[in-house]
Amino acid sequence: MTGARILDGKATAATVRAEVRERAQGLAGRGRAPGLTVILVGDDPASHVYVRNKDKAAHEAGFTVRTLRLPATASQRDVEALVEAQNGDPAVHGILVQLPLPKGLDAERVIARIDPSKDVDGLTAHNVAALTLGRPGMRPCTPLGCIELLDRHGLALEGREVVVLGRSMLVGKPLAALALERNATVTIAHSRTRDLGAVCARADILVAAVGSPRLVQGAWVKPGAVVLDVGINRLPDGTLAGDVDFEPARERAAWITPVPGGVGPMTIAMLLANTLRSAERAATPSAAVL
Ligand code: GUN
């Protein structure tokens, strides 16, 4: 047994980012560089790392980036006012409010303030509905990154059994909808699912997005399956682990993402891609009426 081939998210993301950078240069040459605002409230250490990575990647792509930080003591009004100021700024094409927000703040109400055309996270009700209805709209970055990773490795979804572990608004639900849009047969499994192992074992494409270190055992992986591990879990010894028990899963799968270096870098690449699209649309007068 040679083991699965690695789905290298880092390398694929670098390709996507280079493509985005080239198109961004075209816009910048016309004085219309893509603009991204990232809003970070409070001091969650993981969020600080994620935001720093997004800020750096957007700079490297030639975007105009604003990272706006508010203290954990910020009020609901403070955060919503900041979002609205970005809505009104024509140089801003993408607004991302890093989640989770500190306790006491209502993330849903903050997200509802984001102009759907700048909602590069695809989390507003408008964009969630668009995905469900199969209409154009902004799609969430992590699910989009999973699909892009499959596409760029020639791994088809049509007719395949896709099992998504996790039902979050950021990953599980939108990923299931995207896979369905691509004519996969989709199952969403979660913490109340009975016999999780048996459900996972049906999957041609297994996506783990629950935030539970090494939950998915090697024996749950169908031989020849594609395994996408969305989990990024910090273990007590400081190391990172995904939601999949990597080594035994690798023995059975045909393709598998590592953690780190798998889905994570794709999330950032798709954030840039969504922001670029929004900037391109803003620069095209005829698109404004669509
Ligand atoms: N926190 C963890 N992942 C994400 C993401 O994709 N978007 C936002 N806004 N917050 C997150």
pLDDT digit string, tens, across residues 221-245: 999 999 999 999 999 999 999 999 9
* Omega cis (within 30) before 258: no
User: Domain for residue 19, yes or no?
Assistant: no
What is the pLDDT, as a whole number, of residue 289? Answer: 46
Give 82-145 as a DSSP string. Answer: HHHHHHT-TT--EEEE-SSPPTT--HHHHHHTS-GGG-TT--SHHHHHHHHHT-S----HHHHH
**Is 286's pLDDT higher than 90?**
no
Binding site membership of 175 for ligand 1 (Cβ less than 6 Å): no
User: Domain for residue 165, yes or no?
Assistant: yes
What is the pLDDT, as a whole number, of residue 287? Answer: 56
User: Domain for residue 180, yes or no?
Assistant: yes
Share of the chain above pLDDT 70, in %: 98
Domain count, the chain: 2
**Pocket of ligand 1, candidates 99, 171, 275: which has the most ligand atoms within 8 Å of its Cβ, to mutate?**
99
Binding site membership of 208 for ligand 1 (Cβ less than 6 Å): no
Q: Whose CA is nearest to atom 9 of ligand 1?
A: 98
Binding site membership of 268 for ligand 1 (Cβ less than 6 Å): no
Atom of ligand 1 nearest to the CA of 100: 1
Asked whether 241 and 249 are in contact (CB, 8 A), the reply is no
User: Domain for residue 253, yes or no?
Assistant: yes
Nearby residues of 34 by Cβ (< 8 Å), 6 or more positions away: 24, 27, 61, 62, 63, 64, 93, 94, 275, 276, 278, 279
Residues 89 and 144 in one domain: no
Binding site membership of 274 for ligand 1 (Cβ less than 6 Å): no
* Omega cis (within 30) before 34: no
Compute the average pLDDT of residues 30-43. 98
Residues 160 and 88 in one domain: no
Q: Whose CA is nearest to atom 11 of ligand 1?
A: 99
The CATH code of the domain that includes 192 is: 3.40.50.720
User: Domain for residue 8, yes or no?
Assistant: no
Compute the average pLDDT of residues 3-21. 98
User: What is the residue range of 104's domain?
Assistant: 31-115
Compute the average pLDDT of residues 63-68. 98
What is the pLDDT, as a whole number, of residue 290? Answer: 47
Asked whether 58 and 272 are in contact (CB, 8 A), the reply is yes
